[in-house]
Structure 1
Amino acid sequence: MTDILRGGPTGRALTTRSRSAYSAWFHEIDRSLVAITLILIAFGLFAVAAASPASALRYSGTNVTFPPMYFFWRQAVWVAISVPVMIAVSMAPPRLVSRIALPALPVCILLVGLAAVVGGEGTNGAARWIPLGFFSFQPSELLKPVFIVSTAWMLSLRADAPYLPMFSVTGAITALTAALLMLQPDFGQTFLLCSIWLVMVILAGIPFRAIAALIAAGFGGIVAAYFFYGTAQRRIDAFLFPSSDDTESTRFQIERAMETLTGGGLLGTGPTQGQAKFRLPEAHTDYIFAVVGEEFGLVACAVIAALFVALIIRSAVRLFDETDAFRLLAGAGITVQIGLQALISMMVNTGLAPAKGMTLPFISYGGSSMGAMAITTGLLLAFTRRNPYLAQSPYGSRWNGR
């Protein structure tokens, strides 16, 4: 202990070891993924700054008045917290991540159920948030990375023990989670979670007949949601059979989103110059992609879409030759989550899908969303870490998968 305090031999050894760990992380991390993520986060800050005045005006009332940049400054705080969290998570050994995620999964599922029962009521009567004083926490955001890592670990056990019933176990967990999400109701997150699980079990080697049965069951679930869940029925009806009778209908939201998205043309009206955004509900969250289109132009929207495509392709390239089942499944699941969530959000904003209350990763406002995306991306960076000095070694895959 004395040597450590005085910087003696033991202290120098620990310092050297710490530096070696940081050096290894710096060389193993995929810097292209880091760069893409940081660029998307930067785009998000500009987008929230553009949307903040409209949302501040919309949410101001007789009892409270929000400053025009209220949501931007809060988002800046969340980003300042989230980026270091992302870096810290990316340093974690993948096996340690699984040991944390497994006990966290039942806690997250319980919190999702709690939100459905006692959560604060949000848009369209959905109870998805648990009030925590000065902010609200959305458990389903944290559930997604925990669910993916836990499911990947369980499915990876079949690599050494194919007789284990992990398809059934993970399917039961997915069904329970989906049921709790539908109680909120949150059809968008339910669809996203089930899609992620389907991709992961396909990669894990589920038989083709089972895949066909699951796809059929998925379509059956959508039909059942239409007939038994009012929110899903209203949104699908508004999308398929538009009506202008109700100015607060989901069709109204889609029309205002399209008006805002195309209002700036190719290059946009310029920062703070957009006017259509003031008629757009949830401009800072669900429909922020439309605000980007108005103030920064359709070119900026195309750049954001291209960045998400680049993130997916880069992740796939890093995982292509992965031999460790756990890292492959977890990395693939996270990639699907980010890509599919971004696709759904952009489709809603462009009128190609019914409104679902789905945020755009890294871009939309929200502490729960930004914090969860920081953890999710940190995990993706951890699972795609590679030792460049072992890349050509016949033992490279073995040691990279440790």
Structure 2
Amino acid sequence: MSAPVFSASPARGPGAYLPPVPVRRQWRDGLRIWWREIDKLLLLLICLLMAVGIVAVAAASPASADMLSTAKTRVPDFMFFQRHIVFQALGLALMIGLSFLDRDQARRLGILVGAVMLALLFVVPFIGEEKNGARRWINIGMSLQPSEFLKPGFAIICAWILSWRLRDPGLPVIAFVTGFFALIAALLMLQPNLGDAILFGGIWLVMVLLAGLPWQRIAGLGGIGVVGLTLAYFFYDNARHRIDSFLGDGTAFDQVDLAQRTITAGGWTGTGLWLGIRKMNLPEAHTDYIFSVIGEEFGLVMCGVIVLLYCALVMRALIRLTGEDNLFALFAAAGLVTQFGGQAFINILVNLKLFPSKGMTLPLISYGGSSTLAVCFTLGLLLAITRRNPFLAREGWSLRDLIERKDQSA
């Protein structure tokens, strides 16, 4: 039996005995705290995009199944749709579960996952699976792409390092995170995976700008980027192939051109669910080019709505950071939302033929196993880090403190 608990309760006086709180009561109190502190609008926007994804994969699944079917083997029309429902359910459970973490727990988990995925990134060139000329996946019962889970880990680790400046302003934290990014970029280029390397670069750039990088260095970075892209074109085959395809030469150009034609085939209102024709010739209709399928079957108006949903999600997360006095939370949330928004808009620009093909999925909408779980992992950490009650914080009390005071005075 646990020892009696004595506390200075306002109602019962000093030394009053407080009985242990039942586990069920503790769970209910934790749920109340979570519901009070969670950003409900951000959660609603996430759920809306997931709902759009379910309908979009249902529309694209027959096209992808037909592309993979052979004379001997017929892939069921709704195989990808059925699997997508399972992955969405697992991803939603993962995201909600992570959103219950406090900031310290989210930081520790992000650092741990980032370290593990970085270690896996080192061994991918040796034991990874090769698909379409790239070696990016490890088979662990399902295809796992370490770089997908490394993205949120990278944002958390960089935020943690940059927040060290609060303790010691003399620490070269920007140099630390720059070296970390350079290491990851080099490993990704070996796969090759130029698209993810660019996305990691975007996350790094946003975070070092928030850390106070002088404008002179920003201009220098811009010049280095131009030089690096030029060198990559001449000495890195994957970059040259991507750029040449974007400029109108190669198979990737044909795919992007077909995606652009598909997205405009439905006009403003679309052909209707399962009535699209051009999608049947579109490779990766359920993943990389699902935005084009949406355009054909649901129209450009629906494409505009999706873009607005992504913009609203990014803006809501940034607004949530207004007045944030925790340096780690500020850097981490900015990095996570940059990762999510950057991936979404790169995919959309590729489908609109405004950006070279990158092989990136549309987060929360495209079909995917590990990619869906990785996006939900990212958003779960974002929800956890942005949890707060501004009114109670100004008063110096947490919601848990008030609940405990209420229990003691009952």
Normalised to the residue count of structure 1, the TM-score between the two structures is 0.91
What letter corresponds to residue 285 of structure 2 in structure 1? A
Deviation at residue 66 of structure 1 after TM alignment: 1.5
Could you list the per-position Cα deviations for residues 286-341 of structure 1 after superposition, in whole angstroms to 9, with x for gaps in the alignment?
11100100111111110100000000111111002111000000000111111111
| Residue matched to 1:233 | 240
Change over 3 Å in CA distance of 1:189–1:63 after alignment to 2: farther
The separation in 2 between residues aligned to 1:327 and 1:20, in whole angstroms, is 24
How many residue pairs end up in the alignment?
A: 385
| Residue matched to 1:47 | 56
Could you list the per-position Cα deviations for residues 250-279 of structure 1 after superposition, in whole angstroms to 9, with x for gaps in the alignment?
110011101110111111111111110111
| Residue matched to 1:305 | 307
Q: How does 1:308-387 map to 2 (within 5 A)?
A: 308-387=310-389
Q: Gapped runs of 5+ residues in structure 2?
A: 4-17, 402-410
| Residue matched to 1:136 | 143
- For residue 181 of structure 2, the aligned residue among 167, 174, 180 is 174
The separation in 2 between residues aligned to 1:365 and 1:224, in whole angstroms, is 35
The separation in 2 between residues aligned to 1:23 and 1:234, in whole angstroms, is 53
| Residue matched to 1:293 | 295
The separation in 2 between residues aligned to 1:286 and 1:145, in whole angstroms, is 21
Give yes or no for the alignment of 1:194 onto 2:201: yes
The separation in 2 between residues aligned to 1:276 and 1:170, in whole angstroms, is 45
Give yes or no for the alignment of 1:19 onto 2:28: yes
Q: Which protein has the larger Cα radius of gyration, Structure 1 or Structure 2?
A: 2
What letter corresponds to residue 56 of structure 1 in structure 2? A
The answer to whether the 8 Å contact 2:114/2:149 transfers is no
Deviation at residue 394 of structure 1 after TM alignment: 6.8
Q: Gapped runs of 5+ residues in structure 1?
A: 4-8
Change over 3 Å in CA distance of 1:278–1:100 after alignment to 2: same
- For residue 217 of structure 1, the aligned residue among 196, 212, 224 is 224
Deviation at residue 54 of structure 1 after TM alignment: 1.0
Change over 3 Å in CA distance of 1:118–1:42 after alignment to 2: same
- Equivalent residue of 2:143, what SS? strand
| Residue matched to 1:28 | 37
The separation in 2 between residues aligned to 1:11 and 1:54, in whole angstroms, is 59
The separation in 2 between residues aligned to 1:186 and 1:27, in whole angstroms, is 41
Deviation at residue 239 of structure 1 after TM alignment: 1.4
The answer to whether the 8 Å contact 1:269/1:294 transfers is yes
Change over 3 Å in CA distance of 1:316–1:265 after alignment to 2: same
The answer to whether the 8 Å contact 1:116/1:181 transfers is no
Deviation at residue 120 of structure 1 after TM alignment: 1.6
Deviation at residue 189 of structure 1 after TM alignment: 0.5
The separation in 2 between residues aligned to 1:2 and 1:383, in whole angstroms, is 34
Deviation at residue 388 of structure 1 after TM alignment: 4.8
Could you list the per-position Cα deviations for residues 79-104 of structure 1 after superposition, in whole angstroms to 9, with x for gaps in the alignment?
11110110111111111122223233
- Equivalent residue of 1:67, what SS? coil
What letter corresponds to residue 333 of structure 1 in structure 2? G
Normalised to the residue count of structure 2, the TM-score between the two structures is 0.89
The separation in 2 between residues aligned to 1:189 and 1:159, in whole angstroms, is 30
Change over 3 Å in CA distance of 1:132–1:191 after alignment to 2: same
Q: How does 1:56-71 map to 2 (within 5 A)?
A: 56-61=65-70, 64-71=73-80
Deviation at residue 281 of structure 1 after TM alignment: 1.1
| Residue matched to 2:158 | 151
What letter corresponds to residue 271 of structure 1 in structure 2? L
Give yes or no for the alignment of 1:261 onto 2:269: no
| Residue matched to 1:6 | none
What letter corresponds to residue 36 of structure 2 in structure 1? H
The separation in 2 between residues aligned to 1:48 and 1:361, in whole angstroms, is 12
Give yes or no for the alignment of 1:120 onto 2:126: no
The answer to whether the 8 Å contact 2:113/2:149 transfers is no
The answer to whether the 8 Å contact 2:114/2:152 transfers is no
What letter corresponds to residue 341 of structure 2 in structure 1? G
- Equivalent residue of 2:262, what SS? helix
- Equivalent residue of 2:136, what SS? strand
The separation in 1 between residues aligned to 2:20 and 2:56, in whole angstroms, is 47
The answer to whether the 8 Å contact 2:106/2:384 transfers is no
Deviation at residue 111 of structure 1 after TM alignment: 1.4
- Equivalent residue of 2:213, what SS? coil
The answer to whether the 8 Å contact 2:155/2:335 transfers is yes
The separation in 2 between residues aligned to 1:305 and 1:316, in whole angstroms, is 17
- Equivalent residue of 1:297, what SS? helix
Q: How does 1:239-254 map to 2 (within 5 A)?
A: 239-240=246-247, 242-243=248-249, 249-254=251-256
Deviation at residue 110 of structure 1 after TM alignment: 2.0
Deviation at residue 371 of structure 1 after TM alignment: 0.2
| Residue matched to 1:104 | 113
- For residue 83 of structure 2, the aligned residue among 74, 78, 88 is 74
The answer to whether the 8 Å contact 1:200/1:333 transfers is yes
The answer to whether the 8 Å contact 2:117/2:146 transfers is yes
Q: Which moved more, 1:143-152 or 1:97-106?
A: 97-106
| Residue matched to 1:205 | 212
The separation in 2 between residues aligned to 1:68 and 1:11, in whole angstroms, is 56
The separation in 2 between residues aligned to 1:308 and 1:35, in whole angstroms, is 12
Q: Which moved more, 1:256-265 or 1:216-225?
A: 216-225
What letter corresponds to residue 99 of structure 1 in structure 2? R
Deviation at residue 213 of structure 1 after TM alignment: 2.4
| Residue matched to 1:280 | 282
- Equivalent residue of 2:395, what SS? coil
